[in-house]
């Protein structure tokens, strides 16, 4: 994986990158180019993939992306005793992080992340996209009371126009959150550029970058409507 300081530095479709702990001035982008991830992304894109397999693949990809998104979590050393001898060994340090799902498709992505992070707190932001303006409209916001004290990872399978992601991050910053990351399955280049311009301090992790959007704001080639494909409502 290679360092990418901005979307413009990434390769056209499926670039790769590494993400520092908490980016400061320059935007941080990591596109996970692991063969297993890219194989599963191809399968999840296919229109022939059934609902149950689509759901399973999204869960598996989210687990693999979580591994990379949490690479820089703080650690501390504690004393334990193995069946053989005592030792000093590392464990996660500080308050557990919070995963924030952008409803509804975010929940399908959230499930796999919770498999790896069962102690994480969970928040939800309900946003729907106005079909005319493509602007997000909030209808639900529920977070842990101490959200501002936690590292927050916002999750949504698709970063299309970037409007929903920007609105979600705006809302979280208004709630006092300062440590933020954003994880998605597929991002459009226009959406990435908009998100990085609005929130240059937020690190982004994705599995693929697609070049454009269609007139309805869907990623091309993308994978269709992630929520419909997750829940069999297409």
Instruction: Determine if residue 73 is labeled as part of a ligand binding site.
Output: no
Q: Verify whether residue 133 is a known catalytic residue.
A: yes
Instruction: Determine if residue 28 is labeled as part of a ligand binding site.
Output: no
Closest by CA position to 27, among listed 162, 181, 217 = 181
Instruction: Determine if residue 102 is labeled as part of a ligand binding site.
Output: no
In the set 3, 56, 129, 201, the catalytic residue is 129
In the set 77, 133, 146, 234, the catalytic residue is 133
User: How long is the chain?
Assistant: 234
Instruction: Determine if residue 224 is labeled as part of a ligand binding site.
Output: yes
Q: Verify whether residue 72 is a known catalytic residue.
A: no
Q: Verify whether residue 129 is a known catalytic residue.
A: yes
Q: Specify whether the CB–CB gap between 113 and 107 falls below 8 A.
A: no
For residue 147, what are the CA distances in angstroms to 20, 66, 99, 125, 202?
22, 19, 10, 13, 16
Instruction: Determine if residue 225 is labeled as part of a ligand binding site.
Output: yes
Instruction: Determine if residue 24 is labeled as part of a ligand binding site.
Output: no
In the set 3, 33, 72, 225, the catalytic residue is 225
In the set 33, 111, 201, 228, the catalytic residue is 228
Instruction: Determine if residue 153 is labeled as part of a ligand binding site.
Output: no
Instruction: Determine if residue 226 is labeled as part of a ligand binding site.
Output: yes
User: Residue 146: exposed, middle, or buried by beta-carbon count in 10 A (0-12, 13-18, 19+)?
Assistant: exposed
Residues belonging to the binding site are: 104, 129, 156-164, 219, 224-226
Annotated binding site for uracil: 219, 224-226
The residues annotated as belonging to the active site are 129, 133, 225, 228
Residues annotated within the binding site for 5-phospho-alpha-D-ribose 1-diphosphate are 104, 129, 156-164, 225
């Amino acid at each position: 994986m290679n360092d990418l300081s901005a979307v413009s530095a990434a390769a056209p479709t499926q670039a790769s990158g590494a993400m520092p702990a908490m980016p400061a001035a320059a935007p941080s982008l990591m596109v996970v180019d692991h063969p297993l991830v890219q194989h599963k992304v191809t399968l999840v894109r296919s229109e022939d993939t059934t609902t149950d397999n689509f759901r399973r693949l999204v869960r598996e990809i989210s687990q693999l992306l979580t591994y990379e998104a949490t690479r820089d979590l703080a650690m501390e050393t504690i004393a334990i005793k193995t069946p053989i001898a005592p030792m000093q060994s590392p464990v996660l340090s500080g308050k557990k992080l919070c995963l924030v799902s952008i409803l509804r498709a975010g929940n399908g992505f959230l499930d796999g992340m919770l498999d790896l992070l069962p102690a994480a707190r969970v928040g939800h932001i309900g946003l729907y996209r106005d079909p005319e303006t493509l602007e997000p409209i909030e209808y639900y916001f529920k977070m842990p009371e101490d959200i501002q004290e936690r590292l927050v990872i916002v999750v949504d399978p698709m970063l299309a126009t970037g409007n929903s992601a920007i609105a979600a991050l705006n809302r979280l910053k208004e709630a006092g959150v300062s440590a933020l990351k954003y994880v998605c399955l597929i991002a459009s280049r226009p959406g990435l550029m908009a998100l990085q311009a609005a929130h240059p301090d937020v690190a982004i992790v994705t599995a693929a970058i697609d070049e454009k959007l269609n007139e309805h704001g869907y990623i091309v080639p993308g994978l269709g409507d992630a929520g419909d494909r997750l829940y069999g409502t297409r």
